[in-house]
A = this chain, B = another copy of it.
Amino acid sequence: MADIAAAEPWCVRETGLSDDSLSTAGLRHAESLFALANGHIGLRGNLDENDPRGMPGTYLNSIFELRDLQYAEAGYAYPEQSETVIDAPNGKLIGLYVDDEPFDVRTGELVSHERVLDLRAGTLRREAAWVSPSGTAVRIVSTRLVSFPHPSVAAIRYEVTADPGVRLRIESDLLANEEQPEQRDDPRAATTLHDALRPVRHSDDVLEHRTRRSDLPVAAAVSHHSTGAQTVTSEPDRIRCTITGEGTLRVEKFLAYAWGPQASADRARQDRDAAVSLGFDGLAADQRAYLDEFWTAADVELDGDPEVQQAVRFGLFHVLQAGAQAGPHPIAAKGLTGNGYDGHTLWDTESFVLPVLTYTHPACVGLALRWRHGTLEAARDRARELRLAGAAYPWRTISGAECSGYWPAGTAALHVNADIADAVLRYAAASGDDDFLAGAGLEILVETARLWCRVAHLADDGEWHIAGVTGPDEYTALMDDNIFTNLMARHNLRGAAEVCERFPAGAHDLDVGADELAAWREVADNLHLPYSEARQVHEQAAGFTKLQEWDFAETKDDDYPLMMHFPYLDLYRKQVSKQADLVLAMALRSDAFTAGEKARNFAYYEARTVRDSSLSAPAQAVLAAETGHLELAHDYLAEAALLDLRAGGESSGDGLHIAACAGSWMALVMGFGGLRDHGGRLSFAPRLPQHLPRMRFRLRWRESSLRVTVTPEQATYEVSGPAVEITHHGETLTVDGAPVTRAIPRGEDKAAPPSPRPPQRRRDALEA
């Protein structure tokens, strides 16, 4: 673990470099936490001088290499290739030599070392005081940014101060095909590809490469502006600028990347030159202005829990860093903070990240969904290959091609299609972006509706069923009538039908006739939702409640995550959920359940959910809050929010859990705020536990901004912009110029239902 200081409201501070933080795991953890990104470029938070390091990481969104997928036993329509994010040329490297002795935090004496991620400035600042092995003292200050408003640009300011006469030499590199550490043995980790970039051309200021197999062009430009004497050398994989001076040196290093349709050395040079003319201070000012605007619309305040307050802001910051868009791009599960999950985008994006961005930074969402639309042809091809209809979006991908190598928990998780449709409908309702909805949105909705219509079948019982698919819970696969899938498919089908009726011309262009609309509605209205009369709860999937109970008494702490210690054969056969599934359905499709059902279902699945997925706690927080377990909701919120920052360790080392970052916002705003958005309307049912005096969150809704301030007793709604109609605990309110305050109905804070793995704070409390 990195050495992260106690919570501060607007920054994350590393106060030193202990042995623990200098271990590979500690280095990897800090590199992820301190990663800077803008949705396009991602720089892991490596030390300037590169060593020691856990894993380097310079990512350009959608720059990937292909690798062959191997199967012990092949099968029809198994993907033959996967895509893996690779390192772009690394421009972070700034080596320092003090009287020819290399600066290395592990040698000499490190008098002090601090790094600060500033969530308002959007920078990573480092200050170090070091005495070299031969006794020369230096002070180093570096500041790094990846520019939100200038999405192809990153910049570093590096200053080193020593006594006059001390010879200083900086070797600042732009380095391609850097050697990568070997990956640990975990299926969730990325494949390491060596030497993935083929050099095309190099000069003193630009490296041009193409990825070897995927053949994607990348150009990287660099320039240095310093107070010293500069010499530049270049070779195919490296540009090195050597800067020498005495006493004090200051360097500003500007990087610009060009890839994708804009890939050219000229484009990279142009963007770099624009950055140079702004200067580092100009870039930093633009960065702060961008973030000021973001936080004004998006900030969440939580009084009474500074640790979670910090973590929620940290999470929102990383959601923005992952999701910011200047053109349609995927948003990966790890954002651009690491190469975990091979840099793939999964359903997390539409079900966790986009809902948050929809209400905080909606422009990104339209573009992210346009990226999905841009991959629609691939999804149509995949549906044909799978002998289905419409579109079958991939379970995991960078380019749009299916990259999942284990179909029962990949291709069979068809819900990803409805998750995308859900994101389309939510964004369209919240933003009023009818241009998007009538075009790309409609097409996504129609093609996914067609998939569901083909997948569902009418059985003897007169109901429609979706058999043999996998829901969010990956410890239960290939089941019939997964309730999450069925509810999301229903929403997809109904939404598609409604949008087709709103935009008949578009529907006509897609050959949607009245019969097809009627068929969608017939399926939607009669999709089976399994329910156990014996246990008086809904079933996660048909028969789930009849499966064998998991033997939690015999399961040891180090048996988790279960997937690393038990075969799927065992997991699939039993009532154990990796993560919220039905519970997530109750959060996202809240109107499909009565309050009583929610309470019973929540308690039932609490006892069977182990949270081996970081996607779980947010949904459990939301339902815990709704069902009156406010303390428990707080604990789940904390678990989600603190995952990467405080608890992460191993699994954060190859990148942050961006969905959990988003999930902490959901836990707060959907949980304590009670936000629901069914039928294109906002409703709230805020409720805070007594020990939290106040929270405040902000939402974007169409042309308006809504600010909601909640105390245990009351909620105040304020709108800037046109009036917004909402409901507060069922009461319809129109919020216009003046704040509207309403009391919050009192309710007892219920005791947490039994759980095999209470959230960490709860366990700590139980143990204390």
| Chain B residues whose CB sits within 8 angstroms of the CB of A388 once the complex forms | 570
Q: Does A506 reach chain B (CB closer than 8 Å)?
A: no
Q: Name the B residues within 8 Å of A738 (CB-CB).
A: none
Q: Which of B75, B467, B566 contacts A547 (CB under 8 A)?
A: B467
Residues of B within 8 A of A73 (CB): 187, 404-406, 410
| Cα of A575 to Cα of B546 in the assembled complex, Å | 22
Bound Cα distance from A407 to B572, whole angstroms: 12
- Whether a CB of chain B sits under 8 angstroms from the CB of A768 is no
- Interface residues in A58-87 by Cβ distance below 8 A to B read 69-79, 82
Question: Counting CB contacts under 8 A, is A565 at the interface?
Answer: yes
CB–CB B546/A461 < 8 A? yes
Complex: chain B residue closest to A542, CB-CB: B543
Give CA–CA (A250, B586) in the complex, Å: 85
Contact of A570 among B82, B387, B459, B565 (CB under 8 A): B387
A233 within 8 A of B: no
**Chain A 539-577 interface 0/1 with B at a Cβ cutoff of 8 Å (1 = within):** 000110111110000000000000111111110111000
Min CB gap A568→B, angstroms:
6
Query: Among residues 396 to 423 in chain A, which have CB atoms less than 8 Å away from a CB atom of chain B?
Result: 404-408, 410-412
Measured between alpha carbons, how far is A574 from B86 in the docked complex, in Å? 40
- A385–B564 Cα distance when bound, in Å, is 12
Interface size class of A (residues with CB under 8 A): 35 or more
Contact B563–A405 (Cβ < 8 Å): no
- Whether a CB of chain B sits under 8 angstroms from the CB of A511 is no
A478 interface residue per 8 A CB criterion: yes
A548–B75 touching, CB < 8 Å:
no
Answer yes or no: A766 CB below 8 A from chain B CBs: no
Question: In whole Å, how far is A317's beta carbon from the nearest beta carbon of chain B?
Answer: 31
Contact with B along A336-365 (1 / 0, CB 8 A): 000000000000000000000000000000
Q: A468 to B572, alpha carbons, bound, how many Å?
A: 7
- Asked if A407 meets B568 with Cβ closer than 8 Å, knowing A74-B187, A76-B563, the reply is yes
Q: Identify the closest chain B residue to A570 (Cβ).
A: B387
Shortest Cβ distance from A327 into chain B, in angstroms?
31
The CA-CA distance from A404 to B71 in the complex, in Å, is 11
Instruction: List residues of chain B with CB within 8 A of the CB of A79.
Output: 72
Contact yes or no, B74 A71, CB < 8 A: no
Complex: how many Å from CA A187 to CA B387? 20
Which of B71, B386, B465, B548 is A71 in contact with, Cβ under 8 Å?
B71
Q: Whole-angstrom distance between the alpha carbons of A573 and B455 in the complex?
A: 9
Task: Quickly give the copy total for this chain.
Answer: 2
B465:A564 contact, CB within 8 angstroms:
no
Closest chain-B Cβ to A558's Cβ sits at a distance in Å of 14
A548-B457 in contact (CB<8A): yes
Q: Is A480 an interface residue (CB 8 A)?
A: yes
CB A475 to nearest CB in B, in angstroms, measures 11
What residue of chain B has the Cβ atom nearest to residue A385's Cβ?
Answer: B567
The reply to whether B75 and A546 contact each other, CB–CB distance below 8 Å, is no
Q: Does A764 contact B (CB under 8 A)?
A: no
> Chain B: which residue is nearest A561 at the CB level?
B76
A477 CB within 8 Å of chain B? yes
Q: Are A543 and B480 touching (Cβ within 8 A)? A: yes
A547 to B414, CA, bound (A): 17
Residues of chain B lying within 8 A (CB to CB) of residue A478? 408, 477-478, 572
Cβ-defined contact, A412 with B459, below 8 A? no
Tell me if B187 and A569 are in contact (CB < 8 A): no
A534 at the interface (CB under 8 A from B): yes
Question: Do the beta carbons of A567 and B468 come within 8 Å of each other?
Answer: no
Instruction: Confirm or deny: A748 has a beta carbon within 8 angstroms of a beta carbon on chain B.
Output: no
Q: Are A406 and B467 in contact (CB under 8 A)?
A: no
What separation, in Å, do the CA atoms of A227 and B72 have in the docked complex?
A: 51
In the complex the two chains form, is B76's CB within 8 Å of A567's CB?
yes
Bits for A443-469, please: 1 = Cβ < 8 Å to B, else 0.
Answer: 000000000000101011100010111
Q: For A534, give its contact among B187, B460, B569 (CB under 8 Å).
A: B460
Q: Is the interface of A mostly helix, strand, loop or mixed?
A: loop
Whether A76 pairs with B465 at a CB distance below 8 angstroms is no
CA distance A79 to B73 in the complex (A): 12
A546 touching B459, Cβ below 8 Å:
yes
* Across-interface contacts of A480 in B (CB, < 8 A): 543, 546-547
Cβ-defined contact, A566 with B71, below 8 A: no
Do B75 and A82 touch across chains, with their CB atoms under 8 A apart?
Answer: no
With contact pairs A460-B546, A546-B465, A548-B467 given, residues A568 and B477 touching in the complex (Cβ less than 8 Å) = no
Q: Of residues A74, A459, A469, A569, which shows the largest number of chain B Cβ atoms within 10 Å of its Cβ?
A: A569
Q: Which residue of B lies closest to A466 (CB)?
A: B573
> A72–B75 contact, CB under 8 A?
no
- Flag if B82 contacts A72 (CB, 8 Å): yes
- A75: chain B residues at CB < 8 Å are 187, 406, 563, 567-568
A193 to B: closest C-beta gap in Å? 15
In the complex, A748 Cα to B330 Cα: how many Å?
A: 67
Tell me whether B566 and A76 are in contact (CB under 8 A).
Answer: yes
Query: In the complex, what's the smallest C-beta–C-beta distance from A307 to chain B, in angstroms?
Result: 34
Pairwise interchain contact B411-A569, C-beta atoms closer than 8 A: yes
List of B residues within 8 angstroms of A572 by Cβ: 468, 478
Partner of A407, one of B187, B386, B387, B569: B569
A570 touches B406 (CB 8 A): no
- Given known A71-B71, A548-B467, A572-B478, contact A567–B187 (CB-CB < 8 A): no
- Please, how many angstroms separate the alpha-carbon atoms of A477 and B477 in the complex? 11
Are A468's CB and B569's CB within 8 A? yes
Of the candidates A388, A404, A546, the one having the most CB atoms from chain B within 10 angstroms of its own CB is A546
State in angstroms the CA–CA spacing of A498 and B386 once bound together. Answer: 49
B78:A72 contact, CB within 8 angstroms: yes
What is the distance, in angstroms, from A207's C-beta to the closest C-beta of chain B?
Answer: 32
A459 neighbours in B (Cβ, 8 Å): 546, 548
Q: A567–B455 Cα gap in the complex (Å)?
A: 13
Q: A385-B567, A478-B478 are in contact. List 16 more A-B contacts (CB 8 A).
A: A71-B405, A72-B78, A73-B406, A74-B187, A75-B567, A76-B564, A76-B567, A77-B567, A387-B566, A407-B568, A408-B408, A411-B567, A457-B547, A459-B548, A468-B547, A478-B572
Can you name 28 A-B pairs with beta carbons within 8 Å? A69-B72, A71-B72, A72-B405, A72-B406, A73-B405, A73-B410, A75-B187, A75-B563, A75-B568, A76-B564, A76-B566, A386-B569, A386-B570, A387-B565, A388-B570, A407-B567, A408-B408, A457-B549, A459-B548, A460-B534, A460-B535, A467-B548, A467-B573, A468-B547, A468-B573, A469-B569, A477-B478, A478-B478
Cβ-closest 8 pairs across A and B: A72-B405, A70-B70, A468-B573, A457-B548, A73-B406, A69-B72, A73-B405, A77-B567
